[in-house]
Amino acid sequence: MKSKRQSQVGELIRRAFSTVLQAEGPYIYGHDKLVTITSVDVTPDFAIAKVYLSIFNADDKDEVMGLMQQSTSMLRSKLAQRISKKVRRLPDLHFFLDETVDEMYRVNQLLDGLKKKEE
């Protein structure tokens, strides 16, 4: 179970990092792709922040994830500029692809298909 402080730091990182991605994202993965942060989980020792990303308008999501991994140090330094006064130690950033939105869309399509068959 997450502590209150873990939740607070996770939300702080999520908000600040979304601003960083708005500014720096087009230089990393291009203007046509949309990357959003769905959630951030911080480990109990605050050493690692697991950043879950949803990627839209991209044919190859793994390529975008690779570009994000390559830019981790730059993104972490930009994030540090925004929140260094609010946290003692900035966690290392680990990126994960969050496919819940894609799965939700797929399930909705299946349900719509079943409704059409019933009619």
Predicted structure pTM score? 0.83
* Residue 108, pLDDT score: 87
CB of 88 closer than 8 Å to CB of 45: no
Q: Using one digit for the tens of pLDDT, what is the confidence trace for 9-64?
A: 999 999 999 999 999 999 999 889 999 999 999 999 999 999 999 998 888 899 99
Beta strands in 1-119 (DSSP E): 34-42, 48-56, 92-97
How many Cβ atoms are within 10 Å of 10's Cβ, its own excluded? 20
Q: Using one digit for the tens of pLDDT, what is the confidence trace for 68-119?
A: 999 999 999 999 999 999 998 999 999 999 988 778 888 888 888 888 887 7
User: What phi and psi, each to the nearest 5 degrees, are found at residue 69?
Assistant: -65, -40
Task: Tell me which H or E stretch contains 103.
Answer: helix 100-118
* Residue 101, pLDDT score: 76
* Residue 107, pLDDT score: 87
* Residue 119, pLDDT score: 72
Domain range for 112 is 4-118
**CATH code, 29:** 3.30.300.20
CB of 76 closer than 8 Å to CB of 90: yes
* Residue 111, pLDDT score: 86
- What is the tally of structural domains in the chain? 1
